Structure 1
Amino acid sequence: MGIVGLGAYLPGPAVSNESVGKATGADVEWIRDRIGIEARHHAAPGESTSDLAAHAARKALRDAPVEPDLLVLATVTSDRSVPATACYVQDRLGLSGAPALDVNAACSGFVYALTTAAGMVRAGVARHPLVIGADVFTRCVDPADRRTAPLFGDGAGAVQLAPVPDGYGILATELWADGSKAHFATIPHTGGWFEMDGRGVTGTVLEMGPKILSSALDKAGVRLSELNRLVIHQANPRLVRKVGDFVGLEKHVVPDYGRITGNIAAASIPVTMSLAHRERPFQDGDVIALLAVGAGMTAGAVVLRWHEPSA
């Protein structure tokens, strides 16, 4: 089972550091130097998670010569508590009858969703899953909070899966969670803004990210030196580079698009994949790893070998 279609959607024009600085009182140079983010995108009023997800899905489906028979959506910003936002997306895409469900694992959500879809294929539920990560996380963040508002953006990314030749596609996955660290990043159920213990989150990323990646690589029988690309959740550029440096990978192996997207939660991995493929296309046989750590605390990694049909 491998990726045969990629799509990304970033809403509206980019929101500059100058604009965020005016709202939060944060110094523009501080945002750029301390966080490393230069711009992010905000959904328009009335633009929902399902809107963003449908846009990204349509782009992925343009690449894919198959019709999805399962839709798995990773999000923490569902349109409504009930039903699953995936059902709204399914309807907009005209996929009536295809199973549709949401997965909530925060910034690790896309990796969890991809693993869920792959498991459903093995269980015989589907052959052509569509997996989406989408969030309008800026609506969960106090726009006047200089600690969090500059970090986040909105967006959606999608991948279409289908059978690929043996030796290609998803080689291994690894998931993890530790609920004792749940207080590190939360959104109160009764209302209120996103709250984060920055040191706790950073410490967990640096501790668990490399461990989860190493475990997934071991399962796949792949050495770290064989990676052509490591797509890390773009929490912020400084943290992405720290993880890349910690595992000893050169900058060209670790895509950095968080500087222009901000942290887009569950959308981060598929959007980064899509942008990386657009700028420097993956080649047939490339080994790509996906790595994310998110609220929960949760973490996940996927190792895959890229199949290019025309190769």
Structure 2
Amino acid sequence: MGIVGLGAYLPGDPVSNESVAQSTGADVEWIRDRIGIVARHHAAPDETTTDLATRAGRAAVESAPVDPDLVVLATVTADRTVPATACFVQDRLGVSGAPALDVNAACSGFVYAMATAAGMVHAGVARAPLVVGADVFTRCVDPSDRRTAPLFGDGAGAVQLGPVPEGYGILATELWADGSRAEVATIPEAGGHFRMDGRGVTAVVLEMGPKVLNSALAKAGVRLDQINRLIVHQANPRLVRKLGDFVGLEKDVVPDYGRLTGNIASASVPVTLSFAHRERPFRDGDLLALVAVGAGMTAGAMVLRWYDPAN
């Protein structure tokens, strides 16, 4: 099973650093130089996670040769506590009867959702899952907090999975979590604002990102220097580059779109994947690795071989 369709959606017009600085009191140069973000997107007041997820999901489905028979949505901003937001997305996409569920592993959520979908296929539940990552995370932060408000944006990304020839598709996955580190990044109570220990997050990213990546590579029998593109959760451009340098990969192997999207939580990995393919299309046989670290703390990595049916 592999990726046969991609989609992404960012709501509204880009929100500049000047606009964020005006509302938070943060310094424009500090935002640009310390975190590297120059723009992000904010959902309209009436836009929901379902709206964003449906737009990205429909784009992925329309670009694929198969129709979804399962919807797995990674999100931390569910429209309701019950039912799962994936059920609303399933209904909007017109795939009634297909199983639908949410996965919450914060910024690692999309990798967890991909692993969940792959397990469903292995169990015989589905043949062509649609996996979506979507969040309106700007509603989780204090808009006046200069430490967090400049970092985050809203968006959605999706992949349609389907049958691919043997040797292609998902080759290996590694997942990790440590609930003892939950206070590093958390929304401590219902209706509260997101808070994080920036240094603590960086430490976990640089500790666990390489560990889960190397474990997934070992499972797949792939060397790091064979990876054509490393798709990293875009926490912020400086941290993405730091992780790339840490594992020894050149800039052209580690796409950086976080400067234009901000941290979009569960949507970050699939949006980066979609943008990377749009800008410089993956070639048949390319080896891709996904890696993300998120609240929980959680981490996940996946290795895939790209299949291009036109090859």
Gaps of 5+ in 1: none
- Counterpart for residue 15 of structure 1: 15
- Counterpart for residue 49 of structure 1: 49
> CA shift at 1:190, angstroms?
2.9
Match of 1:66, SS state, is coil
CA distance in 2, matches of 1:225, 1:268: 24
- Counterpart for residue 95 of structure 1: 95
- Counterpart for residue 61 of structure 2: 61
CA distance in 2, matches of 1:63, 1:192: 38
CA distance in 1, matches of 2:198, 2:189: 20
- Counterpart for residue 26 of structure 1: 26
TM-score normalised by structure 2 residue count: 1.00
> CA shift at 1:61, angstroms?
1.0
Does residue 286 of structure 2 align to residue 258 of structure 1?
Answer: no
Regions of 4+ moved over 6 Å:
none
TM-score normalised by structure 1 residue count: 1.00
CA distance in 1, matches of 2:211, 2:92: 39
CA distance in 2, matches of 1:197, 1:191: 20
> CA shift at 1:188, angstroms?
2.5
- Counterpart for residue 120 of structure 1: 120
Counterpart code for 2:205: V
CA distance in 1, matches of 2:230, 2:111: 13
> CA shift at 1:189, angstroms?
2.9
Match of 1:97, SS state, is coil
What RMSD over aligned residues (CA atoms) do the two structures have, in Å? 0.5
- Counterpart for residue 183 of structure 2: 183
Does residue 86 of structure 2 align to residue 71 of structure 1?
Answer: no
Gaps of 5+ in 2: none
Counterpart code for 1:98: A
- Counterpart for residue 274 of structure 1: 274
Among all aligned residue pairs of Structure 1 and Structure 2, give the percentage whose two residues are the same amino acid.
80
Aligned length, in residue pairs:
311
CA distance in 1, matches of 2:47, 2:112: 25
CA distance in 1, matches of 2:190, 2:15: 29
CA distance in 2, matches of 1:297, 1:153: 21
CA distance in 1, matches of 2:50, 2:185: 24
> CA shift at 1:192, angstroms?
1.3
- Counterpart for residue 202 of structure 1: 202
- Counterpart for residue 306 of structure 1: 306
Match of 2:142, SS state, is coil
CA distance in 2, matches of 1:250, 1:195: 32
